Structure 1
Amino acid sequence: MDIMQIYLYFIASVVCQWICVQAAANYYPATPPSVVVHDDTFRPDIILRLSGVVLAVADCTSRYSSVVNGTAPGPTLRFKEGDRAWIRVYNDHDNENTTIHWHGLTMRTSPFSDGTPMASQWPIPPHHYFDYEFQLQPGDAGTYFYHSHVGFQAITASGVLIVDEADGKKPPYDYDDDLIILFSDVYFQNDSSMLNDLTSRPFTWSGDPDNVAVNGKSRALNATQEQQGSGCEMAVLDVEPNKAYRVRFIGGTAFSQVYVAFEEHASLVLIEIDGKYVMPHVVDHLEVVPGQRYSAILFTKTLQELTGADGKIRDRFWVQLETRSPDNDTTAYAILHYKVNSNPVDTFTLPATKPLTLASETFTGGWLEDKIQMYYPDPGNPFPRLEEVTRRIIVNVQEIVTNGSMGIGAFFEQSGSPWFETITNTMEPYLVSLYRNNTANFPNYERALANGGFDPVTKTFPAKMGEVLEIVWYLIGNNFTGTVESHPWHMHGDHFYDCGTGNGTYDPVANEALLVARHGRITRRDTSNLYRPAPSDQQTLGPGAVYSWRAMRIRVQNPGVWMIHCHALQHMIMGMQTVWVFGDVNDVTPLPKDLVDGYFTFGGAAYGNASRAARVLHYWHD
């Protein structure tokens, strides 16, 4: 597609955006909640089974892995706005707990369905099941994924989730079909040994991934011809000439920041970020950190453009992936294949040299930070200007290295405190604790105000309904060497307005001028990167120094217990998670105890098994 065609495509979208206004969402059920026993007469809409198997995974090897319905990735789930569904998740592991988190979807008032162990629910015990309730809202159309939220299971226990527009409603961009690119990291080491290395003393870093897979497929650089076809091949993306494809890029990696581009298809039109449409912007590559999702329109070549002077038709091009940050420099490939003949596709032979030169790592300048604008206005949640901010909360993010009698240890803390998702005899999920003990364990708002927004007793960040928070994340040099890494921060419970990033400390007045220049069309997203500075900049600072910042704004309107955490799995396990309590006691725990007491204990009545049907809260269903 040439520049003039892209320009016309842009103009058409601009015209459309003035007449397309996003409908306000209805977050509350029409009928009172009730409890229903899900016995043999109940039929869930979708069944997912998580199990541990020795999987012939990507990269020409096998490992013990958690999988969904026997495959990695698991099945693609597809819904429409307004759909109401039950998804039953069986834990078929013998010795491991699990949950499923519906990444990017706001579970709003389905209080126990967010899938965050030790925050919104107890994990699902081995050989039990849990029924998750969905009510998709207007404005949810977009690209998501689901994954386990326990340990390292998400490396392989994940799958794509797509929400299409409601019946009778069209997306703002025209395209012929979808292509899905789900990135995932390949580790030869088992999940359990990686977890043990990170949590033991002495501490052992799990290392960078061995490779990156596309849709569960990758090919090791040192593979032999005999391994071809045994989980040792590149992914193939089939296309037809002269078509427009919506390519959905999903950052399902555990740790890798992935840069990706298409050989001889340099003009991609970016249209979606994290489940929200954006104004069209032409890019030649994408930068996808763990947890992020993007959609871009790929325009395929015509048959004439594919035909060479010798009359031969070229039917394949390289999709090149490269990892970034901090020292991870893996290169991997997939194949863009034109279905123009019956020739077999060689999925094993790698290119002799790199066909593309991709950009260097993006540091605190960010990628497209000031170039992307929101497509649909949100009449119920317009961008809050600086003067509307009621409270600014600065969260210091720092790695703490210890050296004791058992050797070196390491963990991350936010505002002086880590958060771990480990079951102990003295811990229970925070939402459960609030229901069971009511005000006894509720965060103290005044105590939090006196401590920069963080309540050190409950280790949570409370906020009142209607507040406009500006959350500023500071990247602090670790206490040992002063070094830092980038961190993709993911918010549960809502999308935030992404207000930028930069070096040093945050200047709200200077940053507001940059935001105003974007005419208030600031993007809302659920995952954004707290970038590290360039290594040369790090040499001038040291332990405890403020290296960089990332700012978010949010109108507090979805009550609940919500996580905001780094989506690098290693960092999550090492404590880089925060818990936010939006609303007062009546907002957060609106249901009578007798409706939700089945959720109060590990393996309680809301968790079914072979001998007992689950006693389940119906929030949206009759």
Structure 2
Amino acid sequence: MFFSFSALCYILSVLPSATGLRQVRHDANFQPDYVLRVTEQTIAVACRTRLSAVVNGTSPGPPIYLKENQTTWIRVYNDFASENLTMKHWHGLSQSVAPWSDGTPQASQWPIKAQHFFDYEIRPQIGEAGSYLYHSHVAFQAVSAAGPIIIEEVDGQHPYDYDDEKIIFLSELFNLTDASVNKMLTAPYEDFGWPGDAESILVNGKGYASLLPDETLTPRPWSSPDPSAEKPCGPEIIEVEPDTIYRFRTIGGVALSPLVFQLQDHDNLTIISADARYTQPASTDLIQMGAGQRYDFIIHTKTEEELRSLGRSMFWMQIEPRYRDINSTSYAILSYKTDLGFNSTVPSSAPPETPIDIPFNNQYWMEYTLQPLQPNGFPSAKQVTRQVFLASSQLISKSGFSWTVSNRTWTENNEHEDDTPYNNTNSTPNTPYLVDIYRRGEAAIPDYNKAVQEYGGWDPDFNVYPAKVGEVVDIILINEPNGIAGGFDAHPWHIHGDHVYDLGSGPGTYNATENEEKLTGYNPIQRDTSLLFKYVLGNDIGTGHDYTSQGWRAWRVKIQNPGVWMVHCHILQHMIMGMQSVWVMGNASEITHGTTPDLVQGYLTYGGDAYGNSTHNPLVNHYYED
């Protein structure tokens, strides 16, 4: 990147001696590495048309390739007519040094105004190579405004050998617009509506027409004004060569459904990574994942001789939701490139009967099984300073339906355009927490002692969970059933800012002593997203509800990245309904890295100087040097 002499003089004049931060005017001379334009368009998908938020005209958006220890600048344009955007949350990546890049509105930054843009600085750390995703963090936009991130090793050397790789980005199609979903979920009690389960699960944005029995989901006719346009119906075709080792990067970009998938006649999958952390090899014949989770697996494709014995070169990839009331089936196709002469015509519709019998109950899949490929510094129970319990439950009142974290809610507010301070209610601040910390310093930091001693780790004045750098905290996620009114669900819990050590899960009530015994000789992997199951009993699995059995999952968190971080259920509908919490980790000096407010002024107001538009070049902080 090149700057004029006057620009260089300006940079030098504002370079702070303590932090290494510098301010740069991103004018015409600045060229971002990636440009993402988020718009609202009617797109064709799985035999339907849907008004959707898309990235560079597609859903999913284009893949972004980063490298460890290398800075990448990503410019995100909010091309909506009036809606706010934060695009993106770089799901799974720590943004502890470039604090304005986590992409969480009202927590770590102001949202991007309509017709404005924001430049995100991303620098993966050594050890963060793997599969990630980016997505909007506003309302229901992430159902379509999302895409894959692939981070490559700094030296280009992988711990596992393979010949090529494929991306499988899983998302969902809903038969409602984003605005309709938001309106239904935030309505008062008498007008509340559940938008229902996904019509189908998509692989890289493609799929057959829905097979759901509800006649309201009958595919609508679709016509393209461009006769040469790609046919909007049909599955993703994953092409592979015979006798070749592939790395499949599977990314859970779904909004709602935990899911499971298998490859027909291919049961030789070897998991090598979970949530972008390399694991010891683990054999499996299926993959189960929830929203936000990622699994990389190795597969050695069949030889031509094996294909000849099977008499085919195309195989179904069968995908099914799990732990939902509606369980439809979706498909992609694994297709071999051969000259064996087998029929290679893509079926015009999904098979009338499922070709694979996938077990329904996989709640113990890979539990206490996956271990890190290299030692990961797992803290012992003796190092744990305290426990924090986060209970998942649904509350129903005259004001509407809420999904809560220990009976508390937190949502971002799309409508905030003011600069007023905290409203001190059990909902959302008007000013993003990180902005307030830069403005007011320690006065904006929650009361740690009060939170820990009186409220189980939660500060009622700020509606946040404080933590101290250096602590080791066990977070116990609890699934609380609350009667036949509903509200007992499986939840993919996600943490921003760092990975946690996944201590496992189970039915009933959590017992730390018993679980520590399970950890004997076992080194938990680090994850950023884990499934909290709804453990139903016996024959009720998949056919009904049992509201008497709890379930739990335990995390161990080493507090080492100061910042304002979200911990929340990653089901978009539950997020809209309040199932989110904010954690303030560290004191004001640690969180701001000693930076004074005058050096970040452009970030401290809604639509401030750090946000660009058609007439304004933003003044942007650079936190890293290459």
Is TM-score (shorter-chain normalized) higher than 0.5?
yes
8 Å contact 1:475–1:549 — kept in the other structure? yes
Instruction: Give the superposition deviation at 1:289.
Output: 0.5
Q: What residue number does 1:420 align with? A: 411
Give the secondary-structure state (helix, strand or coil) at the position aligned to 2:441.
helix
Pairing 1:61–2:48 present: yes
Instruction: Give the superposition deviation at 1:328.
Output: 2.8
From 387, 393, 408, the equivalent of 2:388 is 393
**344 and 493 in structure 1: CA distance in 2 versus 1, 3 angstrom threshold:** same
1:409-467, Cα deviation, whole Å (9 max, x unpaired): 21022233100111445511111111122222210001101211111110111111100
Q: What residue number does 2:355 align with? A: 355
**206 and 540 in structure 1: CA distance in 2 versus 1, 3 angstrom threshold:** closer
Pairing 1:205–2:208 present: no
Instruction: Give the superposition deviation at 1:207.
Output: 0.5
Residue type of the alignment partner of 1:471: I
Instruction: Give the superposition deviation at 1:326.
Output: 2.1
8 Å contact 1:399–1:479 — kept in the other structure? no
Q: Normalising to structure 2: TM-score of the pair?
A: 0.88
Residue correspondence of structure 1 range 138-153 to structure 2 within 5 A: 138-153=126-141
Residue correspondence of structure 1 range 312-351 to structure 2 within 5 A: 314-341=312-339, 345-346=345-346, 348-351=348-351
From 52, 58, 61, the equivalent of 1:74 is 61
Instruction: Give the superposition deviation at 1:362.
Output: 3.0
Q: What residue number does 2:554 align with? A: 551
8 Å contact 1:397–1:413 — kept in the other structure? yes
Q: What residue number does 1:172 align with? A: 159
8 Å contact 1:241–1:300 — kept in the other structure? yes
Q: Distance in 2 between matches of 1:414 and 1:546?
A: 18
From 448, 455, 462, the equivalent of 1:445 is 448
Q: What residue number does 2:259 align with? A: 258
Q: Distance in 1 between matches of 2:195 and 2:352?
A: 30
Q: What residue number does 2:3 align with? A: none
Residue type of the alignment partner of 2:451: A
Q: Equivalent pairs: percent with the same residue?
A: 43
1:463-486, Cα deviation, whole Å (9 max, x unpaired): 111000000111112367365101
Residue correspondence of structure 1 range 20-59 to structure 2 within 5 A: 32-56=20-44, 58-59=45-46
Residue type of the alignment partner of 2:526: R
Pairing 1:230–2:221 present: no
Pairing 1:434–2:437 present: yes
Instruction: Give the superposition deviation at 1:589.
Output: 2.1
Give the secondary-structure state (helix, strand or coil) at the position aligned to 2:458.
coil
8 Å contact 1:127–1:609 — kept in the other structure? yes
1:148-191, Cα deviation, whole Å (9 max, x unpaired): 11111111111111011112x52111111101111000012100
Instruction: Give the superposition deviation at 1:541.
Output: 7.1
Pairing 1:509–2:513 present: yes
**528 and 226 in structure 1: CA distance in 2 versus 1, 3 angstrom threshold:** closer
Q: What residue number does 2:495 align with? A: 491
Q: Distance in 1 between matches of 2:48 and 2:390?
A: 41
Q: Distance in 2 between matches of 1:353 and 1:546?
A: 34
Q: Distance in 2 between matches of 1:413 and 1:445?
A: 22
8 Å contact 2:47–2:222 — kept in the other structure? no
From 116, 123, 134, the equivalent of 1:135 is 123
8 Å contact 1:121–1:432 — kept in the other structure? yes
1:365-418, Cα deviation, whole Å (9 max, x unpaired): x3211111111213xxx11111110111112221101136xxxx2102223310
8 Å contact 1:400–1:480 — kept in the other structure? no
Structure 2, unaligned runs of 5 or more: 1-16, 212-217, 224-228, 421-429
Residue type of the alignment partner of 1:108: S
Instruction: Give the superposition deviation at 1:489.
Output: 0.2
Q: Distance in 1 between matches of 2:549 and 2:360?
A: 24
**224 and 596 in structure 1: CA distance in 2 versus 1, 3 angstrom threshold:** closer
Q: What residue number does 2:226 align with? A: none
Q: Distance in 2 between matches of 1:403 and 1:461?
A: 28
CA RMSD for the aligned pairs? 2.1
Q: What residue number does 1:478 align with? A: 482
8 Å contact 1:247–1:295 — kept in the other structure? yes
Q: What residue number does 1:162 align with? A: 150
Q: What residue number does 1:289 align with? A: 290
Large movers: runs of 4+ above 4 Å: 222-229, 535-542
8 Å contact 1:30–1:620 — kept in the other structure? no
Q: What residue number does 1:241 align with? A: 242
8 Å contact 2:73–2:119 — kept in the other structure? yes
Give the secondary-structure state (helix, strand or coil) at the position aligned to 1:493.
coil
1:296-316, Cα deviation, whole Å (9 max, x unpaired): 11111101111149xxx6221
Instruction: Give the superposition deviation at 1:354.
Output: 1.1
8 Å contact 2:46–2:207 — kept in the other structure? yes
Paired residues in the alignment total 576
Pairing 1:592–2:596 present: yes
**416 and 353 in structure 1: CA distance in 2 versus 1, 3 angstrom threshold:** closer
From 455, 459, 463, the equivalent of 1:459 is 463
Q: Distance in 2 between matches of 1:38 and 1:262?
A: 47
Q: What residue number does 1:3 align with? A: none
Pairing 1:185–2:172 present: yes
Q: What residue number does 2:534 align with? A: 532
Residue type of the alignment partner of 2:450: R
Q: What residue number does 1:305 align with? A: 306
8 Å contact 2:537–2:546 — kept in the other structure? no
**621 and 265 in structure 1: CA distance in 2 versus 1, 3 angstrom threshold:** same
Q: Distance in 2 between matches of 1:110 and 1:484?
A: 37
Residue type of the alignment partner of 1:346: V
Give the secondary-structure state (helix, strand or coil) at the position aligned to 1:609.
coil
Pairing 1:104–2:92 present: yes
1:26-45, Cα deviation, whole Å (9 max, x unpaired): xxx99710111111111111
Pairing 1:86–2:65 present: no
8 Å contact 2:389–2:478 — kept in the other structure? yes
8 Å contact 1:31–1:620 — kept in the other structure? no
Instruction: Give the superposition deviation at 1:535.
Output: 5.6
Give the secondary-structure state (helix, strand or coil) at the position aligned to 2:101.
coil
**226 and 611 in structure 1: CA distance in 2 versus 1, 3 angstrom threshold:** closer
Residue type of the alignment partner of 2:561: N
Residue type of the alignment partner of 1:353: E
From 402, 410, 416, the equivalent of 1:411 is 402
**226 and 556 in structure 1: CA distance in 2 versus 1, 3 angstrom threshold:** closer
Q: Distance in 2 between matches of 1:111 and 1:618?
A: 11
8 Å contact 1:277–1:375 — kept in the other structure? yes
